[in-house]
């Protein structure tokens, strides 16, 4: 029980460190103020969900912590001193909508795709009980179907 909790905490710290503090910072540095940030963050959100699925991590509580961290990060980003520094370095005014929509969409897509890729369908077939991942059932159909 304790070992499982420790593993869960370590996975949570790893995922938050990677997906909240590394990936968005790199994407913000590359895309700056462009609306290209949104599709890039959406694709990275799906990849983050696949990473969580691969790690067998279901973000039950992570989504709330992640939203809170995103909220505080965006609040710090839009403080006047940071905005001035950004505008001086890039030469363009910061657009809050680009950052907010992209950041929150990234969190939602990452957690939703992690839930989706780990969801399973249980069906009683001729050979007994069959458990199939939902994404596989949507792509290939249910085994022992009608």
Q: Which residues pair with 40 in a beta bridge?
A: none
Residues with Cβ within 8 Å of 143's Cβ and at least 6 positions away in sequence, in order, are 123, 125, 130, 132
Query: What is the rounded CA–CA span in Å between residue 35 and residue 33?
Result: 7
pLDDT, tens only, 88-120? 777 777 888 999 999 999 999 999 999 999 888
Is residue 89 in some structural domain? yes
Contact of 19 with 81, CB cutoff 8 Å: no
The residues pairing with 125 across neighbouring beta strands, listed in sequence order, are 128
126 is a domain residue: yes
Residue 85 in domain: yes
What is the reported pLDDT for 68?
Answer: 95
Structural domain includes residue 146:
no
Instruction: Note whether 103 and 73 are within 8 A (CB).
Output: yes
Structural domain includes residue 115: yes
Measured between alpha carbons, how far is 85 from 54 in angstroms, rounded to an integer? 39
Strand pairing class (128-133; 120-125): antiparallel
Token pair listed for 2: 């304790």
The two structure tokens encoding residue 120: 């399973």
The domain tally of the chain equals 1
Question: Is residue 40, in this structure, part of any structural domain at all?
Answer: yes
pLDDT tens-place string over residues 51-76: 999 999 988 888 999 999 999 999 98
Domain holding 51, by residue range, is 2-140
pTM for this predicted structure: 0.84
């Amino acid at each position: 029980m304790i070992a499982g909790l420790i593993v869960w905490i370590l996975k949570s710290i790893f995922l938050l460190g990677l997906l909240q503090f590394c990936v968005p910072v790199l994407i913000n540095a590359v895309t700056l103020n462009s609306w290209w940030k949104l599709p890039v963050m959406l694709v990275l959100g799906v990849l983050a969900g696949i990473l969580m699925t691969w790690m067998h991590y279901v973000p039950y509580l992570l989504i709330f912590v992640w939203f809170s961290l995103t909220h505080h990060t965006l609040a710090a980003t839009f403080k006047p001193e940071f905005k001035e520094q950004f505008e001086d370095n890039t030469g363009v005014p910061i657009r809050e909508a680009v950052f907010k929509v992209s950041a929150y969409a990234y969190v939602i897509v990452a957690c939703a795709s992690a839930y989706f890729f780990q969801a399973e369908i249980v069906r009683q077939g001729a050979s007994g009980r069959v458990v199939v991942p939902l994404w596989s059932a949507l792509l290939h159909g249910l085994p022992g179907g009608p």
